[in-house]
Each structure stands twice: as structure tokens, then as C-alpha cells.
Amino acid sequence: MKTLGIFRHAKSDWNDARLRDFDRPLNTRGRVGAAVMGKHIREHAVGWKRILASPAVRVTQTIEIAGEAAGETPPITWDRRIYLASSAALMDVLREQDGAPRSILLVGHNPGLEDLIFDLVPGNGENPLRDIVEDKFPTASYAVIALDIEDWSDLRAGIGRLEHLVRPRDLDPSLGPTVTD
């Protein structure tokens, strides 16, 4: 059995039009959301053995702030392939992981992360958490999927159970949607 965590980067800043998408930092709301989610991730106590993450600035800042709030950050592997990756590309990255880590936290971007949830977790109408993701997987959302596999190389569609889902607004209503979301 393996456990996959999915953590979408926090809200980014769009104010500097000169910045490349890759270089956009977090905005103030994103910094607050990353800290709130970092505390929640620690309290949820999965014990992530490895973090795989996009090296985009908004992801690195999300991890840094969440890690400070949690008081720990497991080893991180920065992988440029995760930046704006599709679900298929994310599955390929996960399949490359050796069989040792029982838990991996994947930190990156939509729509790939959301699509990965849809691909791994069957949409049979019996999982209310998946139904929430179908509505929206907003910035700084955190999901945990149980995978009935022994090795990451065995990862394939339809084998996951979405066991946990938290959005920043679930912990702090002020982090909920605004007119610009």
C-alpha cells in the first residue's frame, strides 16, 4: 500500500506582468494559505517520506512557508517535468520512484493535479470528496489518496481511494473564493 499526497501551490501574484509564469511569487493571501495548510498537513500526520515538486517560484514558496508552519520539511526532489504537467506526465514521474517510500507528497499545478485525482480515483459517485474536486481543486488544496500497490512502478488509473481533502477555506473562511477567483 502506498499513499500519495497532492498539494496545489498557494495563490500566486499576477501584479507584475513582466514576470514569466514560472517566476510568479505568492501573493499575501497565498502566503497565509500556505501557512494554514502547512499546519494542517502536519496535524494530519501522514508522515511524508518524500516530496516531489515543481521548481516554479510559487511552488517553492508554498513548500517553504508550509514547512516553516509545520516545523519540518521532508527531503524534496525538484523536478521541472512537474511544472504545468499533465496527469499522464505526473504518473510517469511517480512511476520512476523507487519502491521504498511508502508516502510521497506531490506539489505542483492545475489542471494536472486535479486531473491526476480524476484518473486515479474512480468516479462512481460513491466518494463525496471526489465530487468536491470535480467542482474545483483550488489553490493550496491538499488531498490524500490511498493506492493499492506495492511499488510506484505499478501506478495506473482507477486504483486510488481519495481519503482526505482539505481546501484553505475549510480551515479559514477568509481564504475562500472572492470575486476574482
Which pLDDT tens digit goes with each residue over 50-95? 999 999 999 999 999 999 999 887 789 999 999 999 999 999 999 9
Q: Are 176 and 32 in contact (CB under 8 A)?
A: no
pLDDT score of 178 more than 80:
no
Quote the CA–CA distance of 42 and 31 in Å, as a whole number. 17
pLDDT score of 23 more than 90:
yes
Instruction: Report the pLDDT averaged over residues 146-164.
Output: 95
Q: For residue 3, list its beta bridge partners.
A: 103, 146
Class of domain 2-175: alpha beta
| Residue 175 confidence (pLDDT) | 84
Q: 25-38: per-residue pLDDT in tens?
A: 999 999 999 999 99
Instruction: Report the pLDDT averaged over residues 2-16.
Output: 94
| Domain-wise residue ranges, the chain | 2-175
> What is the SS3 assignment for 53?
strand
pLDDT bracket for residue 99 (50, 70, 90): low
Distance from the first to the final alpha carbon of the chain: 36
Average pLDDT, the chain: 92
| Residue 173 confidence (pLDDT) | 81
